[in-house]
Chain A
Amino acid sequence: MGHTKHNPTVRALFNDDDVVLGAVKDLRSNGYEVSEVYSPFPIHGLDEAMGLKRTRLSTAAFFYGLTGLFFASWLTYYTMNLDWPQNIGGKPNSMWFLNMPSFVPVMFELTVFFAAHLMCWSYFAVNGLYPGAKAQNPDPRTTDDHFLMEVELEGDEDALNKKLKELGALEISKIEA
């Protein structure tokens, strides 16, 4: 994230979510590019403040669900009505829709199954989460009670540092790109 530009990044460590949120808003209003914030828990409003687009995972889930529904419909139709229709307790086996009421539970379950699982896999994929991946947060304290902000350094470094101090940063460090 944000490492496409060949600018160095300034990291500022905070210890309060409200302060970080304020800081982000302030910096962005002053034209700074806040490239990332690492926090131990979700901070409400942070994504808007950082100008992140809303995720499309839920939309994906909807289509995954549809896939499941269609699969279930096909499966029941193929096995019960097409491949080998049998007289089971006198129930209709010629037309799928006549037999369908018996299939509703399975259709529902498969819809949920597809939606939930495929969405989670997508979630892991886009976040680059997988068993044994190396920790993405540069500072271990950010899973406890600290908040780390990464700002693109453009122009005057001291001014930025001063700004960050004012905004309540505890530590400030600079990483060359």
Chain B
Amino acid sequence: MTENNKYWRGIEDQSNPELAEKLAQNEFSNEISQADFLGKDELAEGETSRRDFLKFMGFSTAAATLAACEAPIVESIPYVVKPDSLTPGVPNYYASVSYDGFDFASVLVKTREGRPIKIEPNNDAPFNGATNARVQASVLSLYDGARMQSPMVDGVAASWGDAMAAARALKTENSVLVSGSVISPALKKAISKLGLRHVSVDAVSQSARADVYENLTGRRGLPTVSLDKATTVVAVGADLLGDWGGENLMGAYAAARKPGEGMLRHIQVEAGLSLSGSNADARIKAKVSEYETVLAHIYNKVAAATGADKIAAPAVREEIASSVNNAAMELIQAGSGALLLNGLNSATAEKLAAKTNELLASEAFNTTTLEYTSTGSDSAFNALLADVKAGAVDTIITLDSNVLYFSAELAALADKVNLVSIADRADETASKAKVALPLSHYLEAWADAIPVDGVYAVGQPTISPLFDSKSAVEIVNGLAGGSESAIELIKASASTTGNAKAWNALLHDGFASTPVLVANYNVAPSVDLSDIKVGTAVEGIEFYTYTKAGMGAGSNANNPWVYELPDPISRLSWDNYLVMSAADAVALGVENYAQSNGAMNGNTVNITVNGETLENVAVWIQPGQTQGSVGLAVGFGRESVGKVGNGVGVNANALLATTATYASAEIIATEVEHGFASVQLAHTMMGRKIVNEISLPTFLHGNAAEWNETPTFETHKGPLSAFEANLWDDHDHETSHMWNMSIDLNSCTGCGACVVACSLENNVPVVGKDEVRRHRDMHWLRIDRYYSSEMTEAVAEEEGIGAIEKYAKMEVPSESPSVVFQPVMCQHCNHAPCETVCPVGATVHSREGLNHMAYNRCIGTRYCANNCPYKVRRFNWFNYKGNEKFADVNPSQDDYGRMVLNPDVTVRARGVIEKCSLCIQRIQLGKLEAKKDGRILTDGEFTTACAQACGSGAIVFGDVNNPSSEVSHLKQEARAYHLLEEVGTQPSIFYQTKVRNRA
């Protein structure tokens, strides 16, 4: 056996003495290395007997024979000494926390043979026990070859010893530590031990909001909300399903929006169409610069109603004045059920929102329990900028903060200071640093966190570092002269947070409740509105930045999954672009248009914001975009993040001051053409019954047979449903299991977590921008997004418009559309059109109602894909795991990336069709486990990757033959319907009608 580090990178070279010393504390080191074991004297000296010889002969002959009939042998290294906690083929789960300065999540890490391969939600966790698309994707960032592989001094690889020495040498009393929000007590302690001025600044800043609550409560954090106590929420620029605060509200939102009496009413006031705006019952288009006036207006209405004194504020634009009034009225009616949220990074706006909630005694708005995931301080950062300009700072130590990327100002001053960068890669900051210290990925590192009052969470490593990197707390402590290992530091910190649990229990659960040791806790403070100044709206065009569901603040910017995930709203992947209203686009003379092959192209513009110009920025004409307001997503336009992310899109931060949210902009159209990677060409439902949507009154008082009519066929037996009208007796679907899935279109927020989870679980290939452009995205699960159109069957009816004109107009989305999302995967039809047409029977039906796809049998005629009414079948156009065209984007072509592949799922060959299998590997595993224990499968014992990742619980999977299963109840729901039922395919997937809380 050769000593090969190719796969198991955790076993370092034993000959390295420094590592050997380090390994002494490393819990992942093996007691005996391969070398030692093989070097055992007994083995060397013991002479081989005849019997042994024959044994070896026999074995090798057998081995050779077996090998001969094997597929190509893949190099792999068996365990020499197997860790006793680990059985090959059986996954281990570890509770941990994921925090990257933007997203916080309590997660379960699924590892196979010691490799983390999947992030799953820690459902027991009290705070953010759910995963969004970014957290799901984060596991691939661990296997990113672009990560820093060893400490660097002046761009040259160095040992930790030298690097730390070099860093300490650069550290003076005029040094500053710049980091994002720090929620780890252990890290905080280390930082204070470091004794340097600490400036914490967030890439996506909530600073001004945090300031408000710091002044009120003495704690720098953001309010939490309990949507279950709210009846009406008005969100002004607050994308509560997106980047508003660090609290993951998906689940609470879905629960509060459950159709029925007291369903939460949601009004969104915003400039660009966000997830929240898409899900809202009513949406008011306001510029970002109008948010303050809108809030002031609402406040004044509420003040008038509650007898508080009004404040002076400019009038609201009259186009929206009345709807803003209505919003205010609804809040007043809602009383303590009211909730007004502000998303603008402005103290004024936040105070107005807080005060309004205070006046209405809102039970949903919680200023006592704060969350701390974004507590950066803009003022501190501005002060730092001034000092750097003044030359009062010698060294800046950045801690997991790519500040030179998101702060153009500091980047301009970078050469005035020495940079020491603690970062996971040689990014825009670390690449300029004199000393760069590699930071471990959260799956490799010890960490702890207090994300919210009363919750303490720990993160544990699930694999020993792939590269020569260390955890943040260890590095900072080291810089401060400490020598404790990470685990010691975290243990120490855990013991001081007064959490109830013993260390092992804490590790097992990943979290513990902890007392909040502050005065005036539980005392709701009162907001003071004296000396408040409400800003005026920007004349002309305003520019603002926003975050995408996939990219977020950009910490996964070299992760192909976040690029491949189409934006839920625009359905564009691999890009950021200027979102612009149709009216503005017409004024500028820019367009979006499809090529002859269906690929979308568009014009570009040069945009100038206070002197800074971005050239040839693609423009995407976005229905629902507020006129006079253009937005650009952050996190893109990277220069040194890695082969995947470099050069994708443009850097929006270049235009705005680090602490600014919006500014007025000059835009001129250019000649340059831009190619989009659009996965959806038609944006409306063309008057078809695809997503059922009704209003709450209809749901409450209407007749389900009318608002959810089942299509019937006239037969000699009278009208029959598609399920009854049948040429033959059906196959038996009663005995054994019958797997069905319910997708609640009312709960689905379109966030895309399921799409990423599906890609991870099923090794779905990443194909890159060019192929997505050609409509060859491989996602097994897609989330269709439809806009409403001004033209409907009814309108055509009364205006007497002909079919041709009608359909032409139906293709055009409304300027203020209501938006619906519909996850579509293989519908596992029981009368599957795809099955009958396959000449070789590569796709057939299972007893359990699954539509099987035998990749090995497929010869790739693609007839099934043509004949699929849902168009969910995907064809392997190329050899994605070999073709050099995909070398940069496809993880399976990368030595490290390959390690994320799920060993339970085949990587498909070129020329075969693939599609959703309802995670058959999980079904089989679940059945086997039950069989081993000799028991009946219980409902919810296992579920599909998408259902598991869905934070809002929109997707429910289970066995309808089990009368007690959730899915079998959901099938009886009045809202349940099948997609394209009239085609007669008898799908196993069904949807729940969307209900909007409006008349």
Contacts and interface: CB of A to CB of B under 8 A. Distances in A.
Interface of A: 86-92, 98
A90 B841 contact: no
Interface in B941-980: none
A90 B844 contact: no
Interface residues of B, number: 17
13 contacts: A86-B844, A87-B731, A87-B846, A88-B841, A88-B845, A89-B833, A89-B834, A90-B730, A90-B830, A90-B831, A90-B845, A91-B728, A98-B728
Contacts of B728: 90-92, 98
A98 B835 CA distance: 18
A90 B731 CA distance: 6
Nearest to B843: A88
A92 B727 CA distance: 10
A87 B729 CA distance: 12
A88 B833 CA distance: 9
Nearest to B834: A89
B731 A89 contact: no
Contact of A91 (B836, B847, B986): B836
Interface of B: 728-731, 830-836, 841, 844-847, 986
Contacts of A88: 835-836, 841, 844-845
B920 to A, nearest CB: 16
Contacts of A98: 728
A79 to B, nearest CB: 9
A90 B831 CA distance: 5
Contacts of A89: 831-836, 845
Contacts of A86: 841, 844-845
Nearest to A92: B728
A88 B852 CA distance: 10
Contacts of A87: 731, 835, 844-847
A91 B844 CA distance: 11
A46 B847 CA distance: 68
Nearest to B726: A90
A86 to B, nearest CB: 5
A89 B841 CA distance: 10
Contacts of B844: 86-88
Nearest to A90: B831
A31 B642 CA distance: 104
A92 B845 contact: no
Max chain A Cβ within 10 angstroms of own Cβ: one of B731, B831, B847, B986: B731
Contacts of B731: 87, 90
Contacts of A92: 728-729
Would you call the interface of chain A mostly helix, strand, loop, or mixed? loop
A64 B970 CA distance: 59
Contacts, number: 34
Which 9 interchain pairs have the tightest Cβ spacing? A89-B836, A87-B845, A89-B835, A90-B831, A92-B728, A86-B844, A88-B835, A87-B731, A89-B832
Contacts of B836: 88-89, 91
Contacts of B834: 89
A90 B732 CA distance: 10
A91 B847 CA distance: 13
A87 B831 CA distance: 9
B833 A90 contact: no
B421 to A, nearest CB: 60
A93 to B, nearest CB: 8
Contacts of B729: 92
A91 B729 CA distance: 9
Max chain B Cβ within 10 angstroms of own Cβ: one of A86, A87, A90, A91: A90
A88 B847 CA distance: 11
B55 to A, nearest CB: 42
Contacts of B830: 90
A142 to B, nearest CB: 51
Contacts of A91: 728, 836
Nearest to A87: B845
B731 to A, nearest CB: 5
A86 B847 CA distance: 10
B671 to A, nearest CB: 53
Nearest to A86: B844
Nearest to A98: B728
A88 B831 CA distance: 8
B891 to A, nearest CB: 35
B846 to A, nearest CB: 8
A93 B177 CA distance: 73
A89 B986 CA distance: 10
A89 B835 CA distance: 5
A160 B836 CA distance: 74
A87 B832 CA distance: 10
A154 B834 CA distance: 77
A164 to B, nearest CB: 65
Given A87-B845, A88-B835, 14 more contacts: A86-B845, A87-B835, A87-B846, A88-B836, A89-B832, A89-B836, A90-B730, A90-B731, A90-B830, A90-B845, A90-B986, A91-B836, A92-B728, A92-B729
A89 B985 CA distance: 9
A86 B840 CA distance: 12
B214 to A, nearest CB: 64
A87 B733 CA distance: 11
Nearest to B830: A90
B981 to A, nearest CB: 15
Contacts of A90: 728, 730-731, 830-832, 845, 986
A92 B846 CA distance: 14
A98 B544 CA distance: 66
A90 B725 CA distance: 13
A143 B731 CA distance: 66
A62 B831 CA distance: 39
Nearest to B832: A89
A87 B986 CA distance: 14
B776 to A, nearest CB: 26
Nearest to A102: B836
A87 B841 CA distance: 10
A89 B833 CA distance: 6
Contacts of B845: 86-90
A30 to B, nearest CB: 66
Contacts of B831: 89-90
A92 to B, nearest CB: 5
B308 to A, nearest CB: 67
A66 to B, nearest CB: 27
Contacts of B730: 90
A70 to B, nearest CB: 23
Contacts of B847: 87
B744 to A, nearest CB: 27
A135 B833 CA distance: 58
Contacts of B833: 89
A56 to B, nearest CB: 39
Contacts of B841: 86, 88
